[in-house]
């Protein structure tokens, strides 16, 4: 059970950080709205109930930053670090995020 939860978490973070890494540098109003809605809906449909409700609280405290690619990616790194801290995991260095997540598409 813990293994399944961890694998799902890794898959979800990979998708989320890659979405943010490919988010436009200068998003339109529609793109901003789409990203923000996507993140809130993600927090509602996320299959681990305990994780979802904790993440919803984090979103209230740290709403998605959608003004630019850098803002969005740094926000994603920060909120992942909040989860890391809660779970007693290592804090990730957000200066290295742009190198780590690429898509190649």
Ligand X SMILES: Cc1cc2nc3c(=O)[nH]c(=O)nc-3n(C[C@H](O)[C@H](O)[C@H](O)COP(=O)(O)OP(=O)(O)OC[C@H]3O[C@@H](n4cnc5c(N)ncnc54)[C@H](O)[C@@H]3O)c2cc1C
Residues of this chain that bind ligand X (CB under 6 A): 5-6, 9-10, 12-13, 17, 46, 50-51, 54-55, 77, 80-81, 83-84, 87, 89, 92, 97
Instruction: Quickly count: other Cβ atoms within 10 Å of residue 97's Cβ.
Output: 19
User: Which region, judged by CB under 8 A, interacts with its own copies, from 35-43, 56-64, 79-87, 89-97?
Assistant: 35-43
Quick check: 98 binds its own copies (CB under 8 A)?
no
Cα–Cα distance measured from residue 19 to residue 76, given in angstroms and rounded to the nearest whole number: 10
| Residue carrying structure tokens 């997540």 | 101
Decide which of ligand X, its own copies, none touches 87; Cβ closer than 5 to 8 Å per partner kind: ligand X
Instruction: Quickly count: other Cβ atoms within 10 Å of residue 76's Cβ.
Output: 24
Q: What distance separates the 2 farthest-apart alpha carbons in the chain?
A: 41
Cα–Cα distance measured from residue 102 to residue 17, given in angstroms and rounded to the nearest whole number: 9
Shortest Cβ 39–ligand X spacing (Å): 10
The footprint of its own copies (CB under 8 A) covers 1-5, 7-8, 10-12, 14-15, 18-19, 21-23, 34-35, 37-38, 41-42, 44-51, 102-105
């Amino acid at each position: 059970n813990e293994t399944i939860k961890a694998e799902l978490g890794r898959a979800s973070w990979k998708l989320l950080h890659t979405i943010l890494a490919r988010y436009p540098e200068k998003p339109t109003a529609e793109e901003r709205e789409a990203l923000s809605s996507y993140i809130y809906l993600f927090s509602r449909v996320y299959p681990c109930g305990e994780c979802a409700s904790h993440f919803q609280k984090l979103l209230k405290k740290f709403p998605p930053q959608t003004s630019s690619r850098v803002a969005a990616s740094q926000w994603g790194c920060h909120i992942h670090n909040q989860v890391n801290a809660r779970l007693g995991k290592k804090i990730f260095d957000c200066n290295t995020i742009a190198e780590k997540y690429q898509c190649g598409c």
